[in-house]
Amino acid sequence: MNLAILLSAIAVVESNNNDYAIGRAHEISRYQILPRVWRHYTPSTSYASHAIATRVALRHITHILGRLPARAQNVRGVAVAWNYGLTRFKLVHYNWTACPQPVIDYANRIHATYIALESRVSAATTVRASVVGRTAAAVY
Protein backbone atom coordinates (compact mmCIF):
# COMPACT_ATOMS: atom_id res chain seq x y z
CA MET A 1 0.00 0.00 0.00
CA ASN A 2 1.41 3.35 -1.07
CA LEU A 3 0.69 5.94 1.65
CA ALA A 4 1.11 8.91 -0.71
CA ILE A 5 -1.53 7.48 -3.04
CA LEU A 6 -3.77 6.63 -0.09
CA LEU A 7 -3.51 10.20 1.23
CA SER A 8 -4.35 11.50 -2.24
CA ALA A 9 -7.40 9.22 -2.41
CA ILE A 10 -8.59 10.43 1.00
CA ALA A 11 -8.15 14.06 -0.06
CA VAL A 12 -10.11 13.50 -3.29
CA VAL A 13 -12.99 11.68 -1.58
CA GLU A 14 -13.13 13.89 1.51
CA SER A 15 -12.88 17.34 -0.07
CA ASN A 16 -11.99 17.09 -3.76
CA ASN A 17 -8.53 18.37 -2.71
CA ASN A 18 -9.97 21.54 -1.18
CA ASP A 19 -7.47 22.87 1.38
CA TYR A 20 -10.15 25.21 2.79
CA ALA A 21 -12.83 22.55 3.29
CA ILE A 22 -14.71 22.47 6.59
CA GLY A 23 -16.95 19.49 7.23
CA ARG A 24 -20.29 19.16 8.99
CA ALA A 25 -18.54 17.96 12.16
CA HIS A 26 -16.03 20.83 11.76
CA GLU A 27 -13.41 18.60 10.13
CA ILE A 28 -10.61 20.64 8.59
CA SER A 29 -8.26 20.60 5.62
CA ARG A 30 -8.35 18.60 2.42
CA TYR A 31 -8.21 15.44 4.55
CA GLN A 32 -11.15 16.43 6.77
CA ILE A 33 -9.37 15.83 10.07
CA LEU A 34 -11.21 16.47 13.31
CA PRO A 35 -9.72 19.47 15.17
CA ARG A 36 -8.98 17.36 18.28
CA VAL A 37 -7.06 14.87 16.12
CA TRP A 38 -5.23 17.74 14.37
CA ARG A 39 -4.18 19.22 17.73
CA HIS A 40 -2.80 15.84 18.78
CA TYR A 41 -0.18 16.12 16.01
CA THR A 42 0.55 19.83 15.77
CA PRO A 43 -0.15 23.14 17.54
CA SER A 44 -0.43 24.82 14.12
CA THR A 45 -3.75 26.32 13.13
CA SER A 46 -2.71 26.59 9.47
CA TYR A 47 -5.47 24.23 8.43
CA ALA A 48 -5.35 25.31 4.79
CA SER A 49 -1.63 24.65 4.48
CA HIS A 50 -1.24 21.70 2.15
CA ALA A 51 2.17 20.85 3.62
CA ILE A 52 1.05 20.93 7.26
CA ALA A 53 -2.19 19.08 6.55
CA THR A 54 -0.28 16.37 4.70
CA ARG A 55 2.18 15.95 7.59
CA VAL A 56 -0.73 15.69 10.05
CA ALA A 57 -2.57 13.22 7.83
CA LEU A 58 0.55 11.09 7.34
CA ARG A 59 1.19 10.99 11.09
CA HIS A 60 -2.44 10.00 11.68
CA ILE A 61 -2.34 7.23 9.07
CA THR A 62 0.89 5.97 10.65
CA HIS A 63 -0.89 5.98 14.03
CA ILE A 64 -3.81 4.05 12.54
CA LEU A 65 -1.54 1.48 10.88
CA GLY A 66 0.28 0.96 14.16
CA ARG A 67 -2.97 -0.06 15.83
CA LEU A 68 -4.63 -2.13 13.13
CA PRO A 69 -4.12 -5.89 13.04
CA ALA A 70 -2.21 -7.10 9.97
CA ARG A 71 -5.38 -8.37 8.27
CA ALA A 72 -6.88 -4.84 8.36
CA GLN A 73 -3.76 -3.03 7.14
CA ASN A 74 -5.08 -2.39 3.66
CA VAL A 75 -6.75 0.49 1.83
CA ARG A 76 -10.28 -0.32 3.02
CA GLY A 77 -9.14 -1.01 6.58
CA VAL A 78 -7.35 2.31 6.87
CA ALA A 79 -10.28 4.09 5.21
CA VAL A 80 -12.71 2.62 7.76
CA ALA A 81 -10.45 3.55 10.68
CA TRP A 82 -10.05 7.06 9.23
CA ASN A 83 -13.79 7.58 8.80
CA TYR A 84 -15.36 5.40 11.49
CA GLY A 85 -12.63 5.50 14.12
CA LEU A 86 -10.35 2.83 15.52
CA THR A 87 -12.54 2.11 18.54
CA ARG A 88 -15.69 1.45 16.54
CA PHE A 89 -13.74 -0.53 13.95
CA LYS A 90 -12.39 -2.73 16.75
CA LEU A 91 -15.96 -3.35 17.95
CA VAL A 92 -16.71 -5.09 14.63
CA HIS A 93 -13.46 -7.07 14.94
CA TYR A 94 -11.83 -5.04 12.17
CA ASN A 95 -14.24 -6.49 9.63
CA TRP A 96 -15.00 -3.56 7.33
CA THR A 97 -17.99 -5.38 5.80
CA ALA A 98 -19.64 -5.46 9.27
CA CYS A 99 -19.68 -1.65 9.47
CA PRO A 100 -22.74 0.49 8.72
CA GLN A 101 -23.47 0.83 4.99
CA PRO A 102 -22.28 4.47 4.72
CA VAL A 103 -18.89 3.40 6.13
CA ILE A 104 -18.70 0.50 3.67
CA ASP A 105 -19.58 2.89 0.85
CA TYR A 106 -16.87 5.29 2.03
CA ALA A 107 -14.28 2.49 2.14
CA ASN A 108 -15.27 1.43 -1.38
CA ARG A 109 -14.98 5.02 -2.68
CA ILE A 110 -11.51 5.36 -1.14
CA HIS A 111 -10.48 1.99 -2.61
CA ALA A 112 -11.77 2.84 -6.09
CA THR A 113 -10.04 6.23 -6.02
CA TYR A 114 -6.84 4.62 -4.77
CA ILE A 115 -6.89 2.11 -7.64
CA ALA A 116 -7.51 4.88 -10.19
CA LEU A 117 -4.70 7.03 -8.80
CA GLU A 118 -2.37 4.04 -8.58
CA SER A 119 -2.96 3.19 -12.23
CA ARG A 120 -2.17 6.79 -13.25
CA VAL A 121 1.09 6.68 -11.29
CA SER A 122 1.94 3.31 -12.85
CA ALA A 123 1.19 4.60 -16.36
CA ALA A 124 3.28 7.74 -15.79
CA THR A 125 6.17 5.64 -14.47
CA THR A 126 5.98 3.35 -17.50
CA VAL A 127 6.04 6.30 -19.91
CA ARG A 128 8.92 7.92 -18.02
CA ALA A 129 10.93 4.67 -18.03
CA SER A 130 10.28 4.27 -21.75
CA VAL A 131 11.49 7.81 -22.51
CA VAL A 132 14.56 7.40 -20.30
CA GLY A 133 15.35 4.05 -21.96
CA ARG A 134 15.10 5.54 -25.47
CA THR A 135 17.20 8.55 -24.44
CA ALA A 136 19.88 6.30 -22.92
CA ALA A 137 19.92 4.10 -26.04
CA ALA A 138 20.35 7.17 -28.26
CA VAL A 139 23.27 8.41 -26.18
CA TYR A 140 25.14 5.10 -26.40
2-48: per-residue pLDDT in tens? Answer: 999 999 999 999 999 999 999 999 999 999 999 999 999 999 999 99
Give me the long-range contacts of 17-23 (CB less than 8 A, separation at least 24).
19/47, 19/48, 19/49, 19/50, 19/53, 20/48
DSSP string of 13-52?
Answer: HHHTT-TT-B-TT--BTTTTB-HHHHHHH-S---TT-HHH
pTM value is 0.84
Residue 22 and residue 128: Cα distance in Å, rounded? 37
Tens-place pLDDT, residues 42-94: 999 999 999 999 999 999 999 999 999 999 999 999 999 999 999 999 999 99
Q: Which domains occur in the chain, in start order? A: 3-139 (1.10.530.10)
